[in-house]
């Protein structure tokens, strides 16, 4: 019971710091430090835990490896965005997508879906201006536009390797990328389909003559789209098919992008400066330190034993823990690092990994993020689209519940 109380206190510290607009990376480091003090994790105990990892786990599952690889991935994602901007691909991507899709509904969803494949902090603002412009042009309610932009942008999180949570989960479970994503894809499909049903089938005004746009330049639009999208697809293919770490794959994609477009080597340092994101480094450090404290402080078996005494159904525990932490913090990486060490006791038993239960855990995380009022993307959406935050959450709630339902189905029918 004490271990659970210590975790709740550290989470409360995190939430309070976020409320006072302290950056998420620094907030998570402070919360991890508070947890270490409460659990009595000394530097010696921390070192012993790291040595135990090095001795008994594969290299890709050790904390130092995860820190280096995930930090590299997160920072290089910013470099891709900077390179595409300087080359001029970002400005050509949106007109290309608008020209390729004749359906107004498809265009509204496709813009945040495609831009969501490049996860950057506050990146929802990349697609927001395009969605607002396209939606205003055909008379769609601003709260619906905000919900469309927010919801569809986040549907790649369960499967897209550029989101650091995916390789982190893979490393913790020790399963192949293909097997993990083969289960998670159900959440993405459920999200996209339910998003179409609840956000796009209604509330879109009838087509007027002025909404019709010429199909001229289709070949040019396709060329622009391929040039902008191939580095992202290249990274995903190397990760899923060849199991190449995403950080290495995206670095190769960046080099290919710069060489293909003959960017002067003198401009490369300026482009790579986009990787200078100290708070993102702190975010990953804090998340992994929190996870290490849980393991070194013996909190995991204590909390698992406490839940066992309550006789809570396993599926409920697996869903609720990520949901509560995600709703409280609004952060994917932190939620995974905080909750998965506990959930491993339920997900992995007798040397076997139940990916159906793990998919339920991620569904809980997604559901929490979708309705969290402190989720940065939701706050930015409410501000940019000039609409109440509660109205966006109410519009997103039905498809978010469908994702949760898909998670429970996977837990019961796809072990």
What is the Cα 83 distance to its own chain's centre? 22
pLDDT computed for residue 27 by the predictor: 83
Residue 319's pLDDT band, with cuts at 50, 70 and 90, is very high
Q: Residue 331, by phi and psi: left (phi above 0), alpha (psi -120 to 50) or beta?
A: beta
DSSP one-letter code for 206: P
- Give tens-digit pLDDT for 212-242: 454 556 777 777 777 777 777 787 777 767 7
CA distances from 121 to 125, 133, 173, 281 (A): 9, 22, 26, 12
- Give tens-digit pLDDT for 21-68: 787 778 888 988 998 999 888 888 889 888 888 888 777 768 888 788
- Give tens-digit pLDDT for 181-199: 999 999 999 999 999 999 9
pLDDT computed for residue 358 by the predictor: 95
- Do 134 and 108 meet the contact criterion of CB atoms below 8 Å apart? yes
Burial class (CB in 10 A: 0-12, 13-18, 19+), 141: middle
- Give tens-digit pLDDT for 114-159: 777 766 655 576 677 667 777 877 788 889 999 999 999 899 999 8
DSSP one-letter code for 159: T
pLDDT computed for residue 269 by the predictor: 84
- Say how far apart CA 90 and CA 114 lie, in whole Å: 12
Q: Which two tokens stand for residue 375?
A: 């989720």
pLDDT computed for residue 210 by the predictor: 45
């Amino acid at each position: 019971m004490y271990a659970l109380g210590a975790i709740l206190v550290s989470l409360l510290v995190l939430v309070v710091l976020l409320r006072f607009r302290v950056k998420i990376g620094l907030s998570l480091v402070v919360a991890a430090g508070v947890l270490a003090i409460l659990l009595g994790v000394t530097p010696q105990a921390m070192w012993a835990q790291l040595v135990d990892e090095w001795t008994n786990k594969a290299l890709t599952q050790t904390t130092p490896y995860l820190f280096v690889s995930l930090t590299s991935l997160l920072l290089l994602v910013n470099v891709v965005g900077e390179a595409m901007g300087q080359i001029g691909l970002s400005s050509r991507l949106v007109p290309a997508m608008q020209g390729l899709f004749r359906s107004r509904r498809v265009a509204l969803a496709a813009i945040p879906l495609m831009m969501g494949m490049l996860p950057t902090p506050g990146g929802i603002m990349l697609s927001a201006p395009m969605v607002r412009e396209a939606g205003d042009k055909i008379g769609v309610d601003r709260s619906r536009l905000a919900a469309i932009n927010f919801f569809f942008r986040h549907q790649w999180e369960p499967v897209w390797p550029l989101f650091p949570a995916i390789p982190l989960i893979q490393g913790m479970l020790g399963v192949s990328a293909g097997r993990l994503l083969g289960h998670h894809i159900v959440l993405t499909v459920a999200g996209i389909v339910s998003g179409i049903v609840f956000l796009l089938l209604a509330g879109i005004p009838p087509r007027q003559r002025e909404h019709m746009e010429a199909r001229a330049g289709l070949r040019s639009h396709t060329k622009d789209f391929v040039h902008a999208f191939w580095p992202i697809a290249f990274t995903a293919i190397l990760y899923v098919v060849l199991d190449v770490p995403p950080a290495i794959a995206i670095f190769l994609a960046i080099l290919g992008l710069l060489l293909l477009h003959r960017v002067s080597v003198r401009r490369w340092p300026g482009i790579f400066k986009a990787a200078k994101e100290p708070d993102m480094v702190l975010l990953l450090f804090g998340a992994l330190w929190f996870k290490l404290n849980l393991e070194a402080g013996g909190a995991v078996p204590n909390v698992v034993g406490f839940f066992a005494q309550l006789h809570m159904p396993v599926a409920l525990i697996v869903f609720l823990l990520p949901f509560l932490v995600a709703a409280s913090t609004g952060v994917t990486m932190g939620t995974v690092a905080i909750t998965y060490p506990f959930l491993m006791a339920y997900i992995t038993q007798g040397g076997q990994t139940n990916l159906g239960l793990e998919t339920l855990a991620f569904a809980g995380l997604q559901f929490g993020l979708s309705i969290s009022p402190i989720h940065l993307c939701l706050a930015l959406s409410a501000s940019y689209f000039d609409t109440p935050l509660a109205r966006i959450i109410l519009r997103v709630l039905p498809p978010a519940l469908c994702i949760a339902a898909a998670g429970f189905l996977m837990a019961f029918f796809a072990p």
